[in-house]
Amino acid sequence: MTSINNELYLQVRIVNEYKRRHNLTTEQFLRLDYKYDILHMLEIGYEPFHLMGDEGILDEIDTIVIDRNVAG
């Protein structure tokens, strides 16, 4: 149960920071999440992500979104 709470806390914190970084509304973020599965990525990547710090995680999300967008 603690692991789920930690994962959820990470997701909420990072989503809020990502929205702030890119000046997104919740609706805009949810569209990005639908397209790039960001929340799932944070869930399955919790172990390495929680050691990176928020800025590192945000940069990683940006990189993944850009890479997937380029790949089409």
In this predicted structure, what is the pLDDT of residue 26? 97
Model confidence, pTM: 0.86
Q: How far apart are CA 45 and CA 1, in angstroms?
A: 17
How much is the mean pLDDT over the chain?
Answer: 92
pLDDT band at 23 (very low <50, low <70, confident <90, very high): very high
Helix (H, G, I), strand (E, B) or coil at 66: helix
Which two tokens mark 33? 């999440």
Q: Report pLDDT for 18.
A: 97
Note the pLDDT tens digit of each residue in 35-67.
999 999 999 999 998 899 999 999 999 999 999
Helix (H, G, I), strand (E, B) or coil at 25: coil
